[in-house]
Amino acid sequence: MDPAAPGVIVTLKDVAAASGVSISTASRALDERTTSRSAAAAHVRKIAEELGYRRNSFASSLRRGETRTLGVLVPRLSDTVMALMFEELERAAADRGYFAMVATSGDEPDDERRAAETLLDRNVDGLILATARLDDELPRLLRERRVTHALVLRTDGVSPSALGDDEVGGYLAVRHLIDLGHRDIAVVTGPSFTSTAVGRLAGARRALDEAGLGLPEEWVQAGGYGIENGLLTGERLLGASRRPQAIFAANDNIALGIIAAAHRHGLTVGTDLALVGYNDTPLSAMLPTPLTSVRVPLDQIARAAISLITEPDKEPRVRKFMPTLIPRESSRRPRRAPEDADSRRP
């Protein structure tokens, strides 16, 4: 069968007539959501391909009250983790027949609400937020308005959420340093309004408590998740009269800033200072001294988030995925471990 002439739009009616079936039968055969494997349906699809038919998924979705689009809200796409998270969400959405569009908020609540409203004005079928704050009103408002939504990477503990188990991740990072023989360990966390920072710090404290080790308050530094925070906090920690042997950074960006601060102080990461990051971004393994980091399964989180949107009543509503420690050269045994290291290890 010859395809339609250039510029001629082939309609569903044309496909039905050429296939010798009704329009409703042709529509069912070409619906990718419920693709039939019958010989008749295969015949219709073959005719449609030969004619050059293109199904108008947008119009079909509107007739069903759907747009098959999802809005994704992230703090910023310049953050490697957020960019990678969106790519995984985009891929997982496409597997379910959805198109994902992204907006950024800069981690500002007012901008977050405006961006969410903009996405909702475009009739998205659901919102996925990587911006949730522990003091954020937006998830509550979405619940009250019965807007289908899911939180990723961060959670408020109430809305449907898909994230890594941050407390386990923080525990793994600091337990690794303790097992190497380090005793003077500092922690640089992210913003206190994020569940990620709270969870990772809680896990770090648990590991230290189990080992009978303290965490001086001056060795707990909080701030943004950017490289700048790592540099500033690294300067404070490494420029003090008593500096830590090892540092757990709550993400790889912070760790990069600490590496820069160590260089300024004439210290070599992996030799003079042990360092562990979080998220295991692609750059981590490529640094001159490859960075030990905690890997989070972004692909699993993305698939779970899409499932929370497409199957909103499915349990559990908060889904946590196990992180994995990836040891590299940035964390080694101290040059001289304390004499009683073995006796103090639980």
Distance in angstroms (rounded) separating the CA atoms of residues 111 and 126? 18
Enter the pTM of the model.
Answer: 0.78
Cite the DSSP H helix spans in 96-226: 109-121, 138-144, 166-180, 195-210
At 289-336, the pLDDT tens digits run 999 999 999 999 999 999 999 988 888 889 999 999 999 999 998 876
Mean pLDDT of 118-126: 91
Are 112 and 131 within 8 A, CB to CB? yes
Say yes or no to pLDDT of 205 above 60: yes
**Distance separating alpha carbons of residues 275 and 283, to the nearest angstrom:** 15
- What gap in Å lies between CA 89 and CA 263, rounded to an integer? 37
Taking 50 as the threshold, does the pLDDT of residue 340 lie above it?
no
Grade residue 338 by pLDDT with cuts at 50, 70 and 90.
Answer: very low
H or E, element range at 319: strand 318-321
Between these two residues, 84 and 78, which has the higher pLDDT value?
Answer: 84
- Where are the alpha helices (H) located in 211-279, listed in sequence order? 227-238, 252-264
pLDDT mean over 195-208: 97
pLDDT at site 319: 96
Q: Give the pairing type, strands 324-326 and 293-295.
A: antiparallel
The answer to whether the CB of 237 falls within 8 A of the CB of 244 is: yes
- Whole-angstrom Cα distance, residue 179 to residue 20? 73
- pLDDT tens digits for range 16-28: 998 889 888 888 8
Q: What is the pLDDT of residue 136?
A: 84
pLDDT of residue 135: 83
In this prediction, residue 88 has a pLDDT band, given cuts at 50, 70 and 90, of very high
- Dig out the tokens for 225 from the structure: 């998740």
Q: What pLDDT does 223 receive?
A: 87
328 in Cβ contact with 290 (< 8 Å): yes
Residues 82, 293: contact at Cβ < 8 Å? no
pLDDT for 337 beyond 60: no
pLDDT band with cut points at 50, 70 and 90 for residue 37: confident
The dihedral of CA 161, 164, 165, 166: what is its sign? negative
